[in-house]
Structure 1
């Protein structure tokens, strides 16, 4: 609610807060879902049925147009192409992309004005959270912004949730002051039939209110951070109750979905979780299909996987914009990693991702230089944990912070230590610490791994 004075909002009674949330919701609705939006949504729907030849033809054409735009209009690329002697005719095929250097966040941050289209007012400026220590302000044109909205809507539609269906949201939105412990813990956005729940007020004492409000609202979809929805699901298990409604789908985003989180969510709500991956730079959208693979939408950008070592399975995601003419980014390093699905990836083109592992700095690093991601598997078979986080303090020491369901003494901590050591190295020293809660980062996001060795500047 950036357009609403926080002081006025938090000082208002709940009935007025609901009006303010809906008013802001209608403002966003007009920004997102009017004008050219319907044509864009139809294009997204149509693109789901494209074969690889259609995808390649579309992306080749859009890449040529984008490079031509960059060479003619974007100061940073005008200089770059001049230095390399490149012309748009040098980029008539996706395979030519690797002629360009990879763009890192530091270069973008240092030259931010040179990436903007001179004399053009942005449809929207997206401010990133700066969770890695470097916030950015990114200009978007209307097509790109509305395409991003359409991609989420089509992802939900594909999994049986029509636009406008009852939706419960659990994310990082601060809908009431953290020290205000009185219900209600949700506000209604009538513009999208969306009930926005606070993720900051859920505990054993308040769960009864969440339980009853969700039953009354009976959402067709629950959407939000996987950590927040998994926390909700855990409270159902602790209270030994089941929801009196069955969602069509659970949709997660913004954090890496961990295997144990998926398991507890699906067990409680009796439906599948369909994660999607997108970024604040609006370069990529990958939504899980019915098989659990991340399908890359071809309209918004081109995705490459890049590794400095041929033996590495987990490769950095490099993305190129095909739509945002206000601030195009070519071969931008998203600093996240993933693996491609070889069975559904034709030739050198990448259409599906098998797994997305999160940020490069969300890894445990071993003394011999290996980076171990997705260590959530260490919790498999270890019961009694409500939430956990692994912190790497040094090359040979990790601390596992645990929020127990009942008592830490009931958790097989020795097994947990063995599991982590077996996935890292025998020299790793593991310490277990009990916590009452795991501190969230920017926008309330949960990090399953914190690596203190990496400079986040």
Structure 2
């Protein structure tokens, strides 16, 4: 737990003990993600990705009808929603009937979490996962063990397209805090022996630490890097600026969680000497879209349906997702706040699943600290503010952030303290924090809230630390 006696003891422990503690947590993650039939799921997914278009359509139609009926019969939120909108559930017989169902948003989900879990799983032990997207509306999602297992199998099918295998040694660029923010000496990474990975503290990527991190990367052999492309880009930018060469190169870089914009991809690939791929997923398990060897995004139809609202091959449109991979908490016609452009024509890889050429959204700004570091992953901070409806961080100057909050009825001093504690764990104590209560937060054209708006998060603002 954050700021607990156990956490304080962890940060004060010798590095080898921290690595053992981190590995113990890795064992917990491994049991959640890779047991209960993971290998069988992955094997089957490698077969189904080559199904014909007609077989895929038939499969999706069956699953769509089944999950809608399941939701109406066992999930209070959907029964109330569909009754309110006059939906006759018996008339939902095919994918063509999807338009008869109302769409839902993250705010709808957050305001009705208790009514979103299927009564069929009442009393069952479910997994709890926090959404890791970049919006100001984090959610706690309940999943069955089988659903989490399938989700990780889908994510690993994507990696396997590029010759990567579970158990390969890899480096994670994530938003957790494995290294205390006040630590001023290396190592700025911790080792998980159970999952054969190192976890680099993205909060320690700075000009001062660039040489140390470069030497570390060159002393290790990683099969792949994975994590936030914004954080990987940050490091690539600093290494390139300093002229530090990476000679021990990964085979691939696998990005996710926020957008891999073209300029990120070009610099990352050049600096680390490895090709870059990405997949579009979410904790909600409402759908998943993964790149193939030809660089196009394929819908992972085994877990859900992806609609494009009002889109066409030239312009694309907002994504509406329906997931059937997690019957404990299904998301049906869910507006996730991102947009995509369908591929014109078929993909040369030979897969017949629906394909996109581009996915837009999930681009996260940084909070830039006075010592030049860039802090991303604000969702990991927002999760502790349980009584806020929506949140956004605005930074106009280096030493101050404004936290805009749409408060719930019970929002108060404790929520502010929780935010402050978690933010300072990542950014340090040099910045002032100002809270401002608002009635709403502006959205993009796709209906999404940016978690961070920073007027100083540009390359030119990076400072020596």
Q: Which has the higher contact order (CA 8 A, sep 6+)?
A: 2
TM-score by length of 1: 0.76
Structure 1 residue 124 displacement after superposition = 0.6
Report the secondary structure of 1:245's partner residue.
Answer: coil
Report the secondary structure of 1:30's partner residue.
Answer: helix
Report the secondary structure of 2:172's partner residue.
Answer: strand
Counterpart of 1:319 in structure 2 is 321
CA distance in 2, matches of 1:343, 1:114: 41
Counterpart of 1:218 in structure 2 is 221
1:441–1:219 CA distance, 2 compared to 1 (3 A): closer
Structure 1 residue 131 displacement after superposition = 5.0
Counterpart of 1:442 in structure 2 is 378
CA distance in 1, matches of 2:442, 2:319: 19
Counterpart of 1:53 in structure 2 is 54
Structure 1 residue 320 displacement after superposition = 0.4
1:67–1:19 CA distance, 2 compared to 1 (3 A): same
CA distance in 1, matches of 2:442, 2:87: 36
1:232–1:131 CA distance, 2 compared to 1 (3 A): closer
Counterpart of 1:454 in structure 2 is 442
1:82–1:37 CA distance, 2 compared to 1 (3 A): same
TM-score by length of 2: 0.75
Runs of 4+ in structure 1 over 6 Å off: 1-4, 309-312, 449-453
Structure 1 residue 122 displacement after superposition = 4.5
CA distance in 2, matches of 1:341, 1:264: 25
CA distance in 2, matches of 1:264, 1:310: 31
What is the aligned counterpart of 1:238 among 215, 236, 241?
Answer: 241
Counterpart of 2:36 in structure 1 is 35
Determine if contact 1:171/1:444 at 8 Å carries over to the other structure: no
Structure 1 residue 86 displacement after superposition = 4.6
CA distance in 2, matches of 1:204, 1:132: 28
CA distance in 1, matches of 2:179, 2:371: 24
Report the secondary structure of 2:93's partner residue.
Answer: coil
Determine if contact 2:305/2:323 at 8 Å carries over to the other structure: yes
- Which whole-Å deviations, capped at 9, do the CAs of 1:290-336 have from their partners, x for residues lacking one? 222111111111000114x8899241111001121111121011011
Report the secondary structure of 2:338's partner residue.
Answer: strand
Matches within 5 A, 1:40-439: 40-83=41-84, 86=87, 89-118=90-119, 119-128=122-131, 131-307=134-310, 313-344=315-346, 351-359=354-362, 436=372, 438-439=374-375
CA distance in 2, matches of 1:62, 1:450: 45
Q: What's the RMSD between the two structures over aligned residues?
A: 3.2
CA distance in 1, matches of 2:7, 2:191: 17
Structure 1 residue 247 displacement after superposition = 1.7
Structure 1 residue 207 displacement after superposition = 2.0
Report the secondary structure of 2:208's partner residue.
Answer: coil
Structure 1 residue 246 displacement after superposition = 2.8
Q: Which 5+ residue runs of structure 1 have no aligned equivalent? A: 364-388, 391-400, 404-433
Counterpart of 2:446 in structure 1 is none
1:60–1:310 CA distance, 2 compared to 1 (3 A): closer
Determine if contact 1:64/1:89 at 8 Å carries over to the other structure: no
Q: Which moved more, 1:435-444 or 1:229-238?
A: 435-444
1:81–1:440 CA distance, 2 compared to 1 (3 A): closer
Q: Which 5+ residue runs of structure 2 have no aligned equivalent? A: 382-391, 397-403, 405-440, 444-448, 452-465
CA distance in 2, matches of 1:101, 1:312: 26
